[in-house]
Amino acid sequence: MSRIARAETPLTSLASSSRLMLAVIGAASLAACAQSPVGRQKADLAATSRQAAIERPHRVAAFHPHPVSRARVPDEPADAKPTALRGVASFYSDTETASGEKFDKDEMTAAHPTLPFGTRLRVTDVSSGRFVTVRVNDRGPFVRGRVVDISPSAAEALGMLDKGVANVRLDVVQ
């Protein structure tokens, strides 16, 4: 019987020493968690006054690195014309316009994303100084960076048929 007791003793001491080792590892990992930056921040916030906590920069701003600012536009009279717009113009051909008219490549027409149908625009090629007056009867352009699409006849009058695009200035005429 003493022989059996001796055989169990090394196994028992191995099991108890492994339990002891696990307990030490667990305690060490909990101690490491207490030293993490999150744990320190919570402890710092609890220890400081309310005023000090308010003066700290908050971390939500990291999600929005550039604050959104809205410029205040002064109120304009109802009869004021919009200021000139500069950008890239191209020409297009279509079968039907957004206004319901049939597209005619020989008319001086244009597509603009926001101006009302029937608005007359003066389109000036800034490099050559040539200009043409067109009527908005369609929506577009749908290519990023472009401000207006004009009909082929208006593009020919501006001298941009070969280039396909031109830097232009838009002025509302009527």
Angle at 150 between CA 174 and CA 120, to 5 degrees: 5
Fold entry, domain 85-172: Barwin-like endoglucanases (2.40.40)
Tens-place pLDDT, residues 59-90: 444 444 444 444 444 554 555 455 578 999 99
Residue 109 has pLDDT above 90, yes or no: yes
Distance (Å, whole) CA 29 – CA 34: 9
> What per-residue confidence (pLDDT) applies to 20?
85
Q: What are phi and psi of 65, to 5 degrees?
A: -65, -25
> What per-residue confidence (pLDDT) applies to 62?
45
Q: Which of 142, 99, 147 is nearest to 123 (CA)?
A: 147
> What per-residue confidence (pLDDT) applies to 128?
92
State the DSSP string of 110-138: EE-SSSPTT-EEEEEETTT--EEEEEEEE
> What per-residue confidence (pLDDT) applies to 96?
84
Whether pTM > 0.75 for this model: the answer is no
Tokens 């319901």 label which residue? 100
Tens-place pLDDT, residues 114-161: 999 999 999 999 999 999 999 999 998 888 889 999 999 999 999 998
What are the domain boundaries of the chain?
2-63, 85-172
Q: Please state, in angstroms and as integers, the Cα–Cα distance from residue 50 to each residue in 41, 42, 44, 54, following that order.
A: 14, 13, 11, 6
